Structure 1
Amino acid sequence: MSAINEELIAAIFKKPCLWDQQNKLFHNRQINNRNWNEISNELNVDAMVLKKKKWKQLRDTFRAELRKCPPDRSGDAGPHSVNEKCSQWSHFESMMFIKDQIKCRQSSGNLSRQKNNEVQDMNINIDEDVNNVDIEAPQYEENEYV
């Protein structure tokens, strides 16, 4: 199974319109389908299996392995300085050509973050008695937030 994966990776590398999002033919379905059919004939595997299962599985595994690598730091050796040896996965080095195609997305949630400039200074007076806390709300001018 590993040999067919290496052959698939090599065949896809030769056809940038299948993996390079900057390629002008990347969104052309007709050309992409033709390329997938050529690869499937070359490897004697169904095109849909290659496209939907094998290639997706390889990309997903590469993305997960790439996430394990430490991020670039200031002073590191250039933009392609990811250490190929940071992963034990056998196809990691072969898949490095799609590294720039993978975008790390920031996670999001339903909680909003308050920025320092959004938080108004509040006067908080705490007496020795924990039950007696006096909080003054910030004073706004009329129609300031209308």
Structure 2
Amino acid sequence: MPEDREFWGEFFQLYKEQPCLWQIKSKHYLNKYKKNEAYGKLAEKLKEKYHDATTDLVKKKINIYRSNFRKEAKKVEDSMRSGTGADDVYTPTWTYYEDLMFLKDQEAIRTSTSNLQAHEVDCAEIEVRSSKSRPRTTKIRNEREELISLACKRLRGHSDDLDKLALAWASELRRMNPTQQIFAKKAINDVLIEGQLGTLHRHSVSINVGSAPAAQNAPTIVASSSQSPVEWKTDCQ
């Protein structure tokens, strides 16, 4: 109905004007008093349609509409990833999709955050340890904790596929013994340097090519650029 479309358009505009309710980076996002005040404004608006509207009803309605928005946004993203032409990209048909477009980046952050809940304890423990005065640990442990701490802080802000990949790598590094971590980090750093110089190509990296005479099981990584090959050999027994 036209009147419904007009009402919800106004409701979503009012919701947009309350960033403490939906913008994760808002300085008031964790302020319950600010949020209660904002929900009160939305409840007053909702009473134009539901005379006995409460903040609980506001939250319920918002959850329903945000869920519908996520479903439509996912269809768009999935159609874009499928490699089809621009004409085949899904066009949302839900009436209120455009009204809630301000949530698009926030929903992506919320999804990434929920996927990282398993790592929150590790992040918190590392940050607590880093903030306290303590005897100096080994260089390898310091570097490992710094890497994970930086990844956690980064992922609490804007997150994309590269951020999630970095966290996955950090998790894999933690499973290695200290010597293997050194070899892995050196190889990754050298590849990144070649990439920044624009010299990487499809056959730039080979893993464990051949074997060293003194270490039959030593991993060998060969990374070549468009100019000259660079070979790293690790020697660990």
User: Same fold by TM (over 0.5)?
Assistant: yes
Aligned counterparts, 1:27-66, within 5 A: 27-44=30-47, 45-51=53-59, 53-66=60-73
Which residue number corresponds to residue 106 of structure 2? Answer: 101
Q: Which has the higher contact order (CA 8 A, sep 6+)?
A: 1
Q: Taking structure 1 as reference, are residues 40 and 118 closer, same or farther at Cα in structure 2, changes over 3 Å only? A: farther
Percent same amino acid at aligned positions? Answer: 24
**What 5-or-longer segments of structure 2 have no aligned partner?**
48-52, 82-88, 113-160, 165-171, 173-204, 211-215, 219-234
Task: Say if 1:101 and 1:121 are closer, same or farther in 2 by CA, change over 3 A.
Answer: same
The answer for the alignment partner of 2:147 in structure 1 is none
Give the TM-score normalised by structure 1.
0.59
For residues 59 and 119 of structure 1, the distance between their equivalents in structure 2, rounded to whole angstroms, comes to: 46
1:118, distance to aligned residue in structure 2 (A):
10
Deviation at 1:98, TM superposition (A): 1.1
CA RMSD of aligned residues (A): 3.8
For the pair shown, the structure with the greater C-alpha radius of gyration is 1
| Unmatched 5+ stretches in structure 1 | 73-82, 123-138
CA distance in 1, matches of 2:70, 2:41: 26
Superposed counterparts of 1:1-146, under 5 Å = 2-3=4-5, 4-44=7-47, 45-51=53-59, 53-70=60-77, 71=80, 86-103=91-108, 105=112, 139-140=216-217
**2:46–2:58: 8 Å Cα contact kept in structure 1?**
no
Higher helix share: 2
Task: Return structure 1 stretches of 4+ with deviation > 3 angstroms.
Answer: 1-5, 104-107, 117-122
Q: Distance in 2 between matches of 1:94 and 1:9?
A: 7
Counterpart code for 2:104: K
TM-score, reference length from structure 2: 0.39
Total equivalences in the alignment: 115
Shift of 1:119: 6.9
